[in-house]
Amino acid sequence: MIFRKVAKTFIFCTFEKIDIPGMLQSILIAFGIILTIVFITAIIISICEGEKKAVLILLFTAIILITPFFLLLVFPFFTTVSFLLAGIIFTLLILFILPLKGKLPEPTGAPVPGIDERTTMFSRRELKQDILRFNDYYKQHPEHKTPDDQFRKEPGLLSTQSRYAHTYGFASAKASFATVGYLAAGVTGHESMRKQNIDPDALTKYIKAWTKKLGALDTGITGLQDYHLYTVAGRGNRYGKIIFNNHRFAIAFTVEMDYKMMSAAPAVPTVMESAQKYLSSGAIAIQIAHFIRELGYEARAHIDANYELICPIVARDAGLGEIGRMGLLLTPKHGPRVRIAVVTTNIPLIKNQEKNNLSVLDFCNHCKKCVDVCPAQAIPKAGRRQISGNLRWQINSEACYTYWCLSGTDCGKCVVSCPYAHPDNLLHRVIRTGVSRNFIFRQVAVRLDDLFYGKKPKSKSYPGWIRSESESCL
């Protein structure tokens, strides 16, 4: 009894001395300071990104939300308003960071094997160079003749007569593609006669670390499947050859395409950057393949114009992302703003544990920004459907490529407009974390991206070092 009385007396006296209203005001002011730091950080990042609209919206929102907390210093009666505002903000924050996966979409699944590379647009555009192939192909695929005639009416990719023709820029892109062509001799080769003893785990870690050192973003390893492979080659002197690849593993990796260059889409910087990253990824793939052959094992690099397989599907199975609405690999950190290359091999490796990032697909279900910005209207607005055995979206590749031939570039509007394609900085990392964890946040994030960046983001100006066409010809 004596102890209980002493405890009650101590608690009463302690709380009697505490200025609870004053403490609450201090807490609210501290909350306001934290909120200010958050907004200042977001504003600075948006300034660095050159997003004027986002800066203005953040500044206006900051003034509205932060002002009541600092008015407490002069007008104590703002305590109630600030307390309610802090409660709303804190509740929303908790709601958005809770791990609420919601009902996620079904995985894409594995497609039915049997894709002939000759049916792809990159193969069909080469047909005019060989009249025998031309006649034979359209005899077998008459349904492709009319849409292909449309893209052949346009000036063509990197044509001086195209809409975004640029003397220096197009010459730069052609130089990159030509250099990729010089790499072709290294996609295959003879392995060393001295086969090394391999520790699969150690080698896997080494290859992943080395590809990163060489410039790759992410690297994954999967078992090579029959549905990864084309059945028949369709490019260059490989045209019409049956593809046979008995390798056990596929090493897939991504390289980043520069955000500022891509932001000028669909103008010349995009095709310059795209071509350069085909070259960068190709060079890394050639090095990895040669490295493996030096260890005494078979390896083949799959690079631009020399693919035996479908890179996005391999990369998806290697855990690097999902196939998005625009038909490209959608990575969690850089969205579709990447290029992919693959090395297949028989050297013992450790496969990535399969992981489907279904939150990416769920976000894609809600977001249709790529649909809205596509100049060719080639991206489907409807949901996924069963195509060749798997659940996915399918773009109108003929419409897409026809626009390329009109513009002279490989466009890229869908790539850079994707919310996942924003620069990988603190602000967007926080947002991507929320998107991956919480289904409510995913839906809100779609609307916020439209608000801050526009439902149809405008093309940005060229980087300063790329002069305009009038200047480049002086």
pLDDT at position 85 is 84
Residue that is written with structure tokens 């995009």 in the block = 270
Q: What's the average model confidence in pLDDT over 98-116?
A: 90
121-128 long-range Cβ contacts below 8 angstroms, 24+ apart: 121/151, 121/397, 121/398, 121/400, 121/401, 122/234, 122/235, 122/305, 123/234, 123/235, 123/239, 124/148, 125/151, 125/157, 125/401, 126/235, 126/236, 126/239, 128/152
Does position 360 have pLDDT exceeding 70, yes or no?
yes
Report the percent of the chain where pLDDT is more than 90: 77
**pLDDT-derived band at 474, boundaries 50, 70, 90:** very low
Does position 15 have pLDDT exceeding 50, yes or no?
no
Give the DSSP per-residue string, 226-270.
GGGBBSB--SGGGTTPBP----SEEEEEEEEPPHHHHTTTTSHHH
Tally helices (H) and strands (E) across the chain. 19, 8
Question: Could you tell me if residue 232 is left (phi over 0), alpha (psi between -120 and 50 degrees) or otherwise beta?
Answer: beta
Q: Are 389 and 109 in contact (CB under 8 A)?
A: yes
Residues shown for the chain: 474
Pairing of strands 338-345, 390-392: unpaired
pLDDT at position 473 is 46
Q: How far apart are CA 419 and CA 432, in angstroms?
A: 9
Does position 314 have pLDDT exceeding 50, yes or no?
yes
**pLDDT-derived band at 20, boundaries 50, 70, 90:** low
Which amino acid is it at 125? R
Angle at 92 between CA 91 and CA 94, to 5 degrees: 65
Q: What's the average model confidence in pLDDT over 270-297?
A: 98
- For residue 197, give the DSSP letter: P
Does position 57 have pLDDT exceeding 90, yes or no?
yes
Q: Are 185 and 175 in contact (CB under 8 A)?
A: no
Of the candidates 109, 65, 269, 59, the one whose C-alpha atom is nearest the C-alpha of residue 173 is 269
Q: Radius of gyration over alpha carbons of the chain, in Å?
A: 28
pLDDT at position 80 is 80
Residue that is written with structure tokens 């040669």 in the block = 290
Q: Are 435 and 34 in contact (CB under 8 A)?
A: no
Token pair listed for 245: 């690849």
* Bridge partners, residue 335, by sequence: 331
Pairing of strands 385-387, 390-392: antiparallel
Supply the mean pLDDT for the chain.
91
The answer to whether the peptide bond before residue 266 is cis (omega within 30 degrees of 0) is yes
pLDDT at position 3 is 44
Of the candidates 203, 235, 198, the one whose C-alpha atom is nearest the C-alpha of residue 219 is 203
pLDDT at position 102 is 87
pLDDT at position 273 is 98
pLDDT at position 319 is 95
Q: What is the pLDDT of residues 168-185, one digit of tens each?
A: 999 999 999 999 999 999
- Which helix (H) or strand (E) covers residue 348, if one does? none
Does position 19 have pLDDT exceeding 70, yes or no?
no
The helix/strand/coil state of 324 is coil
pLDDT at position 1 is 52
Q: Are 397 and 378 in contact (CB under 8 A)?
A: yes
Q: How far apart are CA 57 and CA 64, in angstroms?
A: 11
Q: What's the average model confidence in pLDDT over 122-147?
A: 93
- State phi, psi for 341 to the nearest 5 degrees: -135, 160
pLDDT at position 469 is 54
Q: What is the pLDDT of residues 219-249, one digit of tens each?
A: 999 999 999 999 999 999 999 999 999 999 9
Supply the angle between the helices 426-437 and 439-453 in degrees, to the nearest 10.
Answer: 140
Does position 449 have pLDDT exceeding 90, yes or no?
yes
**Distance spanning both ends of the chain, measured CA to CA:** 98
pLDDT at position 22 is 65
Q: How far apart are CA 313 and CA 328, in angstroms?
A: 9
pLDDT at position 12 is 44
Does position 4 have pLDDT exceeding 60, yes or no?
no
Q: Are 80 and 87 in contact (CB under 8 A)?
A: no
Q: What's the average model confidence in pLDDT over 253-277?
A: 97
Q: Are 256 and 337 in contact (CB under 8 A)?
A: yes
**pLDDT-derived band at 357, boundaries 50, 70, 90:** confident
Q: What is the pLDDT of residues 400-430, one digit of tens each?
A: 999 999 999 999 999 999 999 999 999 999 9
Q: How far apart are CA 364 and CA 391, in angstroms?
A: 14
Question: Could you tell me if residue 62 is left (phi over 0), alpha (psi between -120 and 50 degrees) or otherwise beta?
Answer: alpha
Q: How far apart are CA 254 and CA 176, in angstroms?
A: 18
Does position 141 have pLDDT exceeding 90, yes or no?
yes
Of the candidates 201, 177, 180, 318, the one whose C-alpha atom is nearest the C-alpha of residue 249 is 318
Does position 304 have pLDDT exceeding 50, yes or no?
yes
Q: Are 235 and 122 in contact (CB under 8 A)?
A: yes
Lowest mean pLDDT among 11-25, 83-97, 137-151, 185-199: 11-25
Query: Domain boundaries in the chain?
Result: 2-97, 117-472
pLDDT at position 210 is 98
pLDDT at position 28 is 83
Contacts of 79 (CB under 8 A, 6+ apart): 21, 24, 25, 28, 72
- For residue 335, give the DSSP letter: B
Residue that is written with structure tokens 């807490």 in the block = 27
Q: What burial class does residue 248 get, using C-beta atoms within 10 Å of its C-beta: 0-12 exposed, 13-18 middle, 19+ buried?
A: middle
The helix/strand/coil state of 406 is helix
